[in-house]
Copies of this chain bind each other. A is one copy, B any other.
């Protein structure tokens, strides 16, 4: 197998593949430029021929990669391939921008091609009157399904689920199930598991299709199915749904309403991007970068980030006011001003490390009441080791190079204490927020930085004053 084979995009011949994707399966810039050159020259046919071999996910990427003002021309040229599958894969900001240029009946047309969950994701953010116009243009079945989904809370299982699923009664044999699947012309064709229900339409088990194919016809489906199953309540938050899929390695799961009736199913392919989103959102939340999508409009990014920077400004003022209290000390020994940011900088970093570990453990349900104290004790031990090492290095360095051993001792003591406090704050603040049912990723880092900054300056300048270092 040649190198180029390895990057084989679905549906493309190996020779061509080479020119479409790079080693990381991203569309090559040369390819993107070639498509746009055809679009700009009005060579619609050539552009379409270039794009046709792509997977819908790659066509969606193509739209994301070109500039915002090129997208409308690209959409016009690719009208025939720009269907529901492509729009379902597209970044929501890019998609919203694109469908803003569509007529309601055009939106309804692509929504009709989509699975319910994707159609809901596309139209849930529209203005109410536009949304109504789209719904009116849909065919009655699709409309009913989407309208029902829209009655569930945002980001809930009800919005993620598909209604097309296979459910069979528990008293059937494998033979009956096979005959039903092979005969029922109106049944869905894409499914991974069959749900077994009782007389009240409550799910009682699931059956992998491979078990159905490998079991003699006379066996009862109830004897083959797996009885232990994870039922997803229709109003469960998508983050919780994602955690269940991960924990129990699910391929599909039954969604039940308040009375326990089977109302839909969620499949893992709709969940993988949620797992990815939820896992990577912590890094954005910790830094106050909001949604942090590179396709987000500048105005939105500004709004979410500046709020955070202003909060940061406020905490920096607290730290400044602490330094202000010690201006007399600094004026008498101005090298303190040069040294003090070391104590707060390294302390802040130690706090962020503990914070990152704690937030992640909380998000993955690894940190619960049962092991809280152990986790805190663990962070204190790591903080002691880190603090002793860094304080020793810094203290000896300052004592030797500035030829002042008392100053070395003062900065070492401040550094050690600040790293200990950083470790404590880094684990306690997110735990406290989590206990208060707040998202620990959102507000923790502002608190922890404030603590390490304020206490760092206070410790260092306070010790310098109290130790008689400054005369």
Contact = CB atoms under 8 A, between A and B. Distances in A.
A237 to B, nearest CB: 10
A400 interface: no
A356 interface: yes
Contacts of A368: 22, 26-27, 29, 65
Given A320-B338, A344-B341, A345-B312, A382 B214 contact: no
A98 interface: no
A247 B338 contact: no
Nearest to A358: B294
Contacts of A276: 246, 275-276, 279, 364
Contact of A292 (B5, B67, B330, B357): B357
Contacts of A228: 10-11, 55
A7 to B, nearest CB: 9
A313 B449 CA distance: 17
Nearest to A6: B233
Interface in A143-183: 178, 181-182
A420 interface: no
B24 A213 contact: no
B8 A231 contact: yes
A369 B27 CA distance: 9
Contacts of A182: 213-214
A50 interface: no
Q: DSSP class of A's interface residues: helix, strand, loop or mixed?
A: helix
Interface stretch (A75-83, A125-133, A134-142, A281-289): A281-289
A253 to B, nearest CB: 11
* Residue among A67, A355, A360, A385 with the highest chain B CB neighbour number at 10 A: A360
Interface string A344-370: 111001101111111111011111111
Contacts of A338: 320-321, 323-324, 327
Interface in A247-272: 247-251, 256-260, 268-269, 271-272
A298 interface: yes
A368 to B, nearest CB: 5
A251 B275 contact: no
Nearest to A68: B374
Given A213-B178, A280-B279, A357-B294, A288 B349 contact: yes
A277 B327 CA distance: 47
A342 B357 contact: no
A352 B287 contact: yes
Interface string A361-388: 1011111111100110010011001100
Given A305-B353, A313-B390, 16 more contacts: A5-B260, A11-B228, A22-B368, A27-B370, A55-B228, A182-B214, A209-B210, A251-B269, A268-B269, A276-B364, A283-B356, A293-B357, A294-B371, A321-B338, A323-B341, A349-B449
Q: What are the nearest 9 A-B pairs in CB distance?
A: A10-B228, A279-B279, A283-B283, A11-B228, A249-B269, A209-B209, A323-B338, A337-B337, A289-B353
16 contacts: A5-B231, A24-B240, A27-B370, A65-B370, A65-B371, A280-B280, A280-B282, A283-B283, A284-B356, A292-B356, A309-B349, A310-B390, A312-B345, A320-B338, A321-B338, A330-B337
